Amino acid sequence: MRLARARFIHVLKGTLANMNYPTYIELPFTAEHNAPMGADNCDQYPESLVRYFLENYTKEDDCVFDPFLGFGTTAFVAEDMARTPYGVEADGERFEWAAGQLENWQNIKHGDAADIGAYDFPAMDFCITSPPYMLCEDTWNPLYGGDPDYEGYNVYLARMAVIFKAIAKVMKKDAVVIVQADNIQGQHYTPLVHDFYQQISKSLTPQAEIIVRWTGKKSIDHRDYELTHCLVFKKS
């Protein structure tokens, strides 16, 4: 049994090495395009994260997609690196601000990420995103804008599965999808990394998990996160 497990681990490590997915990287937590003054941008990931993945897994003119665009970090970096950004953002304030800063503003849609198929997007070469987080003890569901008819963590996870099923349909064959996530210690521990993996792998093929250590300081709600996780999937 131990020998079989050792062989499995050896094969798995060899596969990940062939795909050039590191298990651990360090990146600076810096922001070149800040959110508008006074806006809540505690969930904004740094441009260094997007830049790393675009440098290593995309080429110029690729279509880069972010279904939870937020204040547009993915899109800004994509334009800076001669990629074509596409995205969806449910929050009106964030959508308007991001679209107003982008050359490719017409590729950014205000709406629900689950409705991706209605936006007539081209097939995407690459996707990188960080979905809105929810604690397991919360009732307010960010994927439904807090609608009380859709409260609860289990409803949130089910919706995540629906959204990534829609995302899979707009990705090219063998396209890579990167999902950044943090586990959260609230009143109870919320294993978002594990739960995202469980839901997203229903539609996309898991490839790797990359641990990212921030060399700067990241603070969310007065909690410091030195590490984050990037789950790597592929459209089969």
Does residue 22 lie within any of the structural domains?
no
pLDDT in tens, 19-40: 689 999 999 987 666 655 555 5
Which structural domain range is residue 62 located in? 45-234
Sign for the pseudo-dihedral over CA of 17, 61, 88, 223: positive
Does residue 9 lie within any of the structural domains?
no
Amino acid at 124: M
pTM as predicted: 0.86
Closest CA to 234 of 180, 182, 183, 167: 167
**Which residues make Cβ contacts (< 8 Å) with residue 89, sequence separation at least 6?**
68, 69, 70, 95, 98, 108, 109, 110
Q: Compute and round to an integer the Cα radius of gyration of the chain.
A: 18
Collect the ranges in the chain with pLDDT lower than 70. 1-19, 31-44, 217-224
Q: How many domains does the chain contain in total?
A: 1
- Return mean pLDDT, the chain: 87
Query: For residue 124, what is the domain's CATH number?
Result: 3.40.50.150
Residue 3, burial from CB neighbour count under 10 angstroms (0-12, 13-18, 19+): exposed
User: What pLDDT sits at residue 11?
Assistant: 38
Does residue 200 lie within any of the structural domains?
yes
Does residue 214 lie within any of the structural domains?
yes
Does residue 147 lie within any of the structural domains?
yes
Per the DSSP assignment, residues forming a β-bridge with 233 are 177, 206
